[in-house]
Amino acid sequence: MVFGEYLTFIRQKTRALLILVFLHSFMINRIYLSSNHPFATPQTIESIAHSSLAEMRFEGRISFENLEFAARDFGNRYHLMPSAVLHPKSVSDISSILRYVYDLGLSSELKVAARGHGHSLEGQAQAYRGVVISMESLRDPEMSFHGGKHPYVDVSAGELWINILHESLKRGLPPRSWTDYLHLTVGGTLSNAGISGQALRHGPQINNVYQLQVVTGYITITCSKMHTKILRRPSNNLNLLCAGRGEVVTCSDKQNTDLFHAVLGGLGQFGIITQARIALEPAPKMVKWIRALYSDFSTFARDQEHLISSNNSFDYVEGFIIINRTGLLNNWRSSFSPKDPIRADQFNSDGKLLFCLEIAKYYNPRESDNIDQDIDTLLSELSYIRSTLFMSEVSYVNILDRVHVSEVKLREEGLWEVPHPWLNLLVPRSRIHEFVAEVFGNIVKDMSSGPVLIYPVNKTRWRSGTSLITPDDDVFYMIAFLSSAMPSSTGKDGLKHILSQNKKILSFSQRPYLGIKQYLPHYSTEEEWEAHFGPHWEVFYRRKLSYDPLAILAPGQRIFRRGIAYVQQ
C-alpha cells in the first residue's frame, strides 16, 4: 500500500472508531451524569465525579488527603496537585478507575497518571486535579521466577528494579539490562526505554521484556460471537468490532503486538502497564570496573565505538566528560587503584577538557587468572592516556547499585531533594563531533553542577516498532547533563544558570539537520512533539486514538490535551 492510501485507510478507520467512541461517551454521559443532573456544568460534573470516586470500592484504597508526594518528582520543579491518589491492590482496581474516568466522557476534565517511583524530571507522572495511581502499592503478582532455556521473571510493574536485583540474585538469574540507578519502577523505565552501559550486549530494557499486561484507556479488537459493549446486542458475526474501557490485555511480540510496541517507550500514553515478563541471564559474582582518561575526543569516541561493536568486549561501556576539574585522580583513589601509581601522581587534570572511559567486565572468581589476561588484551587495543588507568574490583550488586551510594551521601547533606534540571540527548554518530565541538567548545565552559555522561549505543540490536524515538544512525550517543541546582545559588550551580545553559544546548541541538533527539523528552507545544516524532508521529497519533482517544492517560507528558485526540479530527 502506498503511503497516501495508507493514510486514507488510517483516517477512515479512525473516523469510524471516533464515531463509536463519541456515541459511547455521549451515551454514558447521559446515563451517568446528564439524566440525573440535567443542569450539570463542567464544575458540577467534576465534583460529581469526585464524590462518585469516593464512593467506589477498591481492594486497595483511594485517598483525597496527604497528596503532596504525588505532586513532586526527582526533577523538583513541577508541582501539580492531584485530586486523589489510588493505591491499588489489584489490577481490577486500575481497570475500574480507568473505566470510571472513561465513562465520564468528553464533558469531564479528569485525567489519570500512573506514578512509578516519581523519578521523572518535569512532572511526567503528575496529574493536575486528576487521579494519580501509585503503582508501588500494586504487589500483584508476587515476583515469580522461571528457569529453562529462556529464563524470565514475572513482576508487578510497580516493582523497583533494586528489589528485582536482590530477589533474582537468590536464584543466580538477574535481568540482563539495567539503568544506572535502580530505585526506579519497571513500568516507569519501560515507558521510556531504560538505557545504560549494558545496552551494548542486550539493548535497552524495552528490548528485554517478553510480555506485558496492560490496562488500556480504551481498546477496540476484532472478535467473534461476543456482545459488543457499544452496540449492546449479541452477534454471531465474525470480525465484529468490540470495544472496552479499562480492558486488561496481555501483549507481546506475538499477541496484541501493536499495543506491546506502543507501550514500550510509550511515555505512559496508551495504557497502564501492570505486569512485565523480564528476560534473565546467569549472574556473575564480581566485576572489574575500569576508568581511563583521554584528552582527544576523536580517539575516545573511536575506542568507545570499537568496544560496543566487537563481540568479545566488556560487559558495560559508558563514559563521562570532565570539564575544568582539579585533583581528579586523587578523588578516584578512594574507590579505584591506579595501575601505575607513580605516573598517575604526575598527571595533572587542571583546566583540561578530558574524556573518561568507564568500562566493566563481569567474572566469577574461579576464572580470575584468565580475566586479568582477557582485560589486558582488550585494553591493549585502546589508546587512553597510559598513566590514567584506574581499576577496582567490586561485587555485581555494588556496581549496579552504585548511584544509591551517592544518593545516601547526598541525602545526608540535604542535597538529594534539590531541583534537577537534567537534559538527556541522543546524538547521531555522524553529528557527534560537531555537537561536542559546539557544546563543549562554546556553550558549556564549566560543569560544577553535575556529571555529563557520554557513550555510544548500537541500535542494530534494538527492537524496532516501539514508541521510542531515536536518531536515524545505527550508532548514536547518549549525552546526559545530570545537573543538581543548589537552592540558593545565583552562580553556575544555580537553577537559573543551568536552565539558561540547557536552553542554549537545546537551541543548537534542535536544528533539524542534526537529527538529535531528546531522551525522556519534554516539550511545550504540539509542533515540537510532532518534530520529535517526525515520520513516526502518524503512528503515535493513531495508537493514541486506538488506546486512549480521550487523552486521559499520563497528562504530565503534555503531548495531548484531554479530549484533543477526538477534537482534532
Considering only 154, 167, 180, 393, the residue that binds ligand FAD (CB under 6 A) is 180
Q: Considering only the stretches 167-175, 319-327, 530-538, 554-562, report the one whose residues sit in contact with ligand FAD under the rule CB under 6 A.
A: 554-562
Nearer to ligand FAD, 64 or 69 (CB): 69
Question: Between 95 and 349, whose beta carbon lies closer to ligand FAD?
Answer: 95
- Interhelix angle 42-55/91-104, nearest 10 degrees: 160
CB contact burial 22-31 (16+ within 10 A = b; e otherwise): bebbeebbee
Q: Is 411 helix (H, G, I), strand (E, B) or coil?
A: helix
Tell me the HSE value of 237 on the side-chain side, using a 13 A CA sphere.
10
CA distance 560 to 566: 10
Binding residue (CB under 6 A) for ligand FAD from 118, 175, 419, 428: 118
Smallest Cα–Cα separation from 501: which of 430, 437, 429, 445? 445
Would you say 86 or 184 has its CB closer to ligand FAD? Answer: 184
Q: Which residues contact 330 (CB under 8 A, 6 or more apart)?
A: none
Q: Which stretch binds ligand FAD (CB under 6 A): 95-103, 264-272, 300-308, 355-363?
A: 264-272
Peptide bond into 82 cis (omega under 30): no
Cell reading at 121:
524530571
Q: Which of 91, 114, 242, 356 forms a contact with ligand FAD (CB under 6 A)?
A: 114
* Binds ligand FAD (CB under 6 A): choice among 84, 259, 267, 283: 267
Residue 80 makes contact with ligand FAD by CB under 6 A: no
What is the footprint of ligand FAD within residues 504-543 (CB under 6 A)? 520
Q: How far apart are the first and last CA of the chain?
A: 23
The SS3 call for residue 452 is strand
How far apart, in whole angstroms, are the C-alpha atoms of residue 292 and residue 356? 6
Q: Give the shortest CB-55-to-ligand FAD separation in angstroms.
A: 26
Instruction: Transcribe 155-192 into DSSP letters.
Output: EETT-BHHHHHHHHHHTT--BS---S---SBHHHHHTT
180 belongs to the catalytic site: yes
Any contact of residue 165 with ligand FAD (CB under 6 A)?
Answer: no
Please tell me whether residue 212 binds ligand FAD under the rule CB under 6 A. no
Q: Which is nearer to ligand FAD, 338 or 549 (CB)?
A: 549
- Size of the chain in residues: 569
Among 62, 273, 399, 457, contact with ligand FAD (rule: CB under 6 A): 273
Segment contacting ligand FAD by CB under 6 A, of 77-85, 117-125, 345-353, 492-500: 117-125
The yes-or-no answer on residue 119 being catalytic is yes
**Grid cell of 304 as nine digits:** 568507545
CB closer to ligand FAD, 104 vs 206: 206
* Among residues 191, 207, 275, 546, the one that binds ligand FAD under rule CB under 6 A: 191
Query: Is the CB of residue 395 less than 8 Å from the CB of residue 487?
Result: no
Active site residue 528: no
Instruction: Pick the binder of ligand FAD from 24, 119, 431, 542 (CB under 6 A).
Output: 119
CB of 88 to ligand FAD, least distance (A): 10
Whole-angstrom distance, CA of residue 569 vs CA of residue 15 = 8
Query: Applying CB under 6 A, what is the total number of residues that bind ligand FAD?
Result: 37
Residue 527 neighbours by CB distance under 10 Å: 9
Question: How far is C-alpha 281 from the chain's CA centre?
Answer: 22
Q: Which burial class, exposed, middle or buried, applies to 245 when counting CB atoms under 10 A from its CB (0-12, 13-18, 19+)?
A: buried
**Residue 553 per-residue DSSP state:** B
* Binding status of residue 24 toward ligand FAD by CB under 6 A: no
- Residue 394-433 contact track with ligand FAD, rule CB under 6 A, x = bound: ---------x------------------------------
Contact call for residue 120 and ligand FAD (CB under 6 A): yes
Least distance from ligand FAD to the Cβ atom of residue 96, Å: 16
Which residue from 195, 200, 219, 290 is in contact with ligand FAD, where contact means CB under 6 A? 195
Residue 111 sits in the site that holds ligand FAD (CB under 6 A): no
Asked if residues 116 and 136 have their Cβ atoms less than 8 Å apart, the reply is yes
Can you tell me which of 131, 157, 248, 436 binds ligand FAD, judged by CB under 6 A? Answer: 157
| Burial (CB count <10 Å: 0-12, 13-18, 19+), residue 285 | middle
Helix or strand or coil: residue 340?
Answer: coil
Q: What number of H helices and E strands is found in the chain?
A: 18, 20
Task: Assess 249 for contact with ligand FAD (CB under 6 A).
Answer: no
Q: Does 484 bind ligand FAD (CB under 6 A)?
A: no
Would you name the residues annotated as active-site residues?
Answer: 119, 180, 318
Binding site for ligand FAD (CB under 6 A): 73-74, 113-120, 124-125, 135, 157, 179-181, 184-185, 187-189, 191-196, 267-268, 272-273, 403, 520, 554, 556-557
